[in-house]
Amino acid sequence: MTSDRTRGNKSSEVHGIFQKIAGYYDRMNFLMTLGRHEKWCREVAARVAPAGGGRFLDLATGTGVIALAVARRNPGATVTGVDFSEEMLRRARTKPGADAVRWQHGDAADLPFEDESFDGITEGYLLRNVEDLDRVLREQHRVLKPGGRLVILETCPPSGLVKPVVKWGLRVIVPLLGQVVARDRRSYTYLESSTRAFESPQSIAGALSGLGFTDIGWRKKFFATNVILWATKAN
C-alpha cells in the first residue's frame, strides 16, 4: 500500500502514515478484508505470469506479501520488491522466504531501472496514494517489457445498491479498527477517505489504455471494495 511517496506534501504525509502502521499492517489487512487479503495477493501473483523464470517487480511492496507470493510461484524468477517506507521494507526482510526477493527502497514515480527491464509488474494499494497517477503508470509502462503483464490490487470506491452500507462501514469500522488494533485512528481515517475518493476501475482502465496497454480487465472483490486489474503492454 505505497506510492511515489517521496515528493510533495501528500507524499510526506503518506510516508509518515506507512512508517507508523508497518507493525500492524498485515493484521489490519486481515481484519479489514475478513481474511481475504492474502488470497487476493496470491491471485495477483498467479495473474502476472505462468510459473517459470523471468524478472518481476512488485511496487508498493509493503511487508512483501505479493512479492513473496510471486517468488513462491516462480522459484526460478528474479523478484524485486520496492517501497518508499523503510519500516515496511525492514519488516518484509524478516518474513520466511524473504531471501528470495531483492528488497529495494524506491520511488514509484522515478523508478531506478532501465527501460523494458521486467517481464511482469505487480502492485498493492499504490495508486490511491500517489500524487501523479499518470506519471506512476508511465513509469511502469517504461520498465515493463513488450508483452509483459501488469497486475494491480487496489481499493475500489463503493457503488451500486450496497453503496450506502459500504460507505458507512468504511467511515465507521475502518477507523475504529485502527483505534483498537493499531492505536492509530487518524492513519486509518486517511486510508478510509482515500478509498472513497479513489478512481473507479473504469477510470484506471482508461488511463492504462491511453498508455498503450491492451487486454485490460478487472474483477471486483469483497462487496466491490477492492479490485484486481490486469493489462498487457503491447508488443
110 is in an annotated binding site: no
63 is in an annotated binding site: yes
Phi/psi at 214 (5° precision): -130, 180
- Copy the grid coordinates of residue 186: 487518524
Q: Are 67 and 120 in contact (CB under 8 A)?
A: no
83 is in an annotated binding site: yes
Q: Are 122 and 90 in contact (CB under 8 A)?
A: no
Q: What is the DSSP letter of 178?
A: I
Please state, in angstroms and rounded to a whole number, the distance separating the CA atoms of residues 35 and 14. 25
49 is in an annotated binding site: no
148 in helix, strand or coil?
strand
Q: Which helix (H) or strand (E) holds 56?
A: strand 55-59
The binding site comprises: 63, 83, 107-108
The binding site for S-adenosyl-L-methionine comprises: 63, 83, 107-108
